[in-house]
Structure formats: structure tokens, C-alpha cells
């Protein structure tokens, strides 16, 4: 795993810390004719060579650099102003996949075997449940109390939904790690940032509406966390 870790570190340094914004803009404008593209690839090659420090790895290193350039070119050619975020994640996932493949081809023993037992399937299922399925359930339960005074235009698009998903996943992770006190911190933080504004607006119905949704959200995450812990006790 140390080889893969070094390659990921080189990627992070080359793609984020040591790549100036001017290089990114030049690549997007000039594409294949941009000298910055080749400097970027050279930087990645040098970083990997220094961090890995294994001359026997050089064929795989060369393949990683070449594939990096191809992936970057595909991203530059395919992305549009409205799809930049999408292509960013596709680009990074492709780079990571290439690094894993390079390590696996160089020495298969360096890639640990992953076996999905029953507890992992339950963990994945509960994690998925706490995302959009839980959002739909909560919205269905509290829909009859939707305050007429709520102005959807004053909030970011689907911000409440994403906040709910993140808070449930955080609560779930806190329970699995035994950090129940962190849940209290999360509740306090959300109270300060969200309920403070509602209290100032004196919109009691909207405050109660959000409070009900928050309690249901936390409740679902807690139930899922306790269910997983109970399953582990039974299996073990």
C-alpha cells in the first residue's frame, strides 16, 4: 500500500498544490498546443520518480504519465461551463483508477484483497438508505406542515437536502466510532447556524417545521447506527 500512497501523494502535489491556475487556464484554451500541459506531465513524472525511488517502476511510471495526459485532454475537450464539476470528478476518478492499476500490474500482492462479508453489505445498505431515501421519507412525513411563508428562492438549490444527507452520514459515522459526544456538537453547530436566523425572523411555523425534520433526520441516523451495532454483536 505504501507504493500506492506515494503515487497518490505525487498526484495530489502535481494536480493541486504545484499546478498554478495559469497552467489550468492555458490548457483549457490551447489544449494540445499548451506547453503548460507538457510541463504538468513532466512535473508529475518527476514527483513520482522522487517519491517512489524505484527504477524498476519506470515503465509503469511512464504509462501513468501518458495516461494522465490523455485523461486531461479528454476532460479539456469534453467539458463545458455547465459540466465542469462533473468532469472534475470523472477526471480524478480516472487518475486514481490508473494509479491502482499500475500498482496492481507492478506487484499484485501490493493490492489488498477486499472481501465483502455480511456486515459490509449491511453497512453499505444503511449508508445508501441515509442519503436520498431518507430525504424522501422525511419530506413525505413533514409535507403536511410545509409553511406557506417559506421562500425557496432565498436558499441554495437543494441545500437543505444535502445538509440533511451529510448530517445523517456524520451521525452514523459518529455512532460506529463510538463518538456519541460528537453528535451533540453537530446538533449545537446546526442550532447556531440555522435556528439563530429563524429565531430572529420570528417565523415560528418555519422554525418548528425545520426542527421536526431535523429530529426525524437525526432519529433515522441513530436507529441505523444502533441497528448496525446490534448486528455486529449478534454476528460476533
Per-residue model confidence (pLDDT) at position 148: 55
- Say if residue 36's pLDDT is above 60: yes
- The angle at the Cα of 224, spanning 220 to 225, to the nearest 5 degrees, equals 115
Q: Are 1 and 110 in contact (CB under 8 A)?
A: yes
Which of helix, strand or coil describes residue 54?
A: coil
Q: Which three cell numbers stand for residue 109?
A: 500482492
Q: How far is CA 68 from the centre of its chain?
A: 21
- Report which of residues 116 and 161 the model is more confident about: 161
Q: Is the pTM of this model over 0.85?
A: no
- Report which of residues 52 and 232 the model is more confident about: 52
Per-residue model confidence (pLDDT) at position 73: 96
Q: Are 118 and 91 in contact (CB under 8 A)?
A: no
Average pLDDT of the chain to the nearest whole number: 88
Q: Residues 71-80: pLDDT tens digits?
A: 999 999 999 9
Q: Could you give the count of Cα atoms lying within 13 Å of 57 in the half-sphere of its Cβ?
A: 23
Q: Are 231 and 184 in contact (CB under 8 A)?
A: no
- Residue 59's CB: how many other CB atoms inside 10 A? 11
Domain boundaries, the chain: 2-110, 118-235
**Confidence grade of residue 211 (pLDDT, cut at 50, 70, 90):** confident
- Report which of residues 30 and 196 the model is more confident about: 30
Q: Residues 98-108: pLDDT tens digits?
A: 999 999 999 88
**Confidence grade of residue 151 (pLDDT, cut at 50, 70, 90):** low
Q: Are 225 and 171 in contact (CB under 8 A)?
A: yes
Q: Average pLDDT of 45-52?
A: 96
* Phi, psi values for residue 19, rounded to 5°: -100, 110
- Report which of residues 96 and 200 the model is more confident about: 96
Percent of the chain with pLDDT strictly greater than 90: 64
Amino acid at each position: 500500500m505504501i507504493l500506492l500512497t506515494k503515487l497518490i501523494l505525487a498526484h495530489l502535489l502535481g494536480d493541486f498544490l504545484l499546478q498554478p491556475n495559469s497552467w489550468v487556464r492555458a490548457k483549457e484554451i490551447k489544449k494540445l498546443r499548451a506547453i503548460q500541459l507538457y510541463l504538468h506531465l513532466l512535473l508529475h513524472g518527476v514527483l513520482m520518480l522522487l517519491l517512489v525511488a524505484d527504477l524498476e517502476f519506470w515503465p509503469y511510471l511512464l504509462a501513468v504519465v501518458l495516461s494522465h495526459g490523455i485523461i486531461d485532454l479528454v476532460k479539456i475537450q469534453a467539458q463545458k461551463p455547465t459540466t465542469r464539476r462533473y468532469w472534475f470528478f470523472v477526471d480524478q476518478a480516472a487518475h486514481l483508477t490508473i494509479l491502482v492499476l499500475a500498482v496492481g500490474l507492478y506487484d499484485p500482492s501490493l493490492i489488498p484483497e477486499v472481501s465483502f462479508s455480511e456486515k459490509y453489505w449491511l453497512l453499505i445498505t444503511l449508508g445508501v438508505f441515509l442519503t436520498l431515501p431518507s430525504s424522501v421519507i422525511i419530506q413525505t412525513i413533514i409535507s403536511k406542515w410545509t409553511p406557506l411563508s417559506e421562500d425557496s428562492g432565498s436558499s441554495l438549490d437543494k441545500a437543505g437536502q444535502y445538509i440533511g444527507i451529510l448530517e445523517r452520514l456524520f451521525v452514523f459515522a459518529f455512532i460506529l466510532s463510538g463518538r456519541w459526544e460528537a453528535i451533540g456538537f453537530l446538533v449545537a453547530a446546526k442550532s447556531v447556524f440555522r435556528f439563530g436566523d429563524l429565531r430572529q425572523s420570528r417565523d415560528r411555523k418555519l422554525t418548528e417545521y425545520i426542527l421536526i425534520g431535523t429530529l426525524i433526520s437525526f432519529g433515522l441516523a441513530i436507529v441505523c447506527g444502533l441497528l448496525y451495532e446490534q448486528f455486529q454483536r449478534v454476528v460476533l
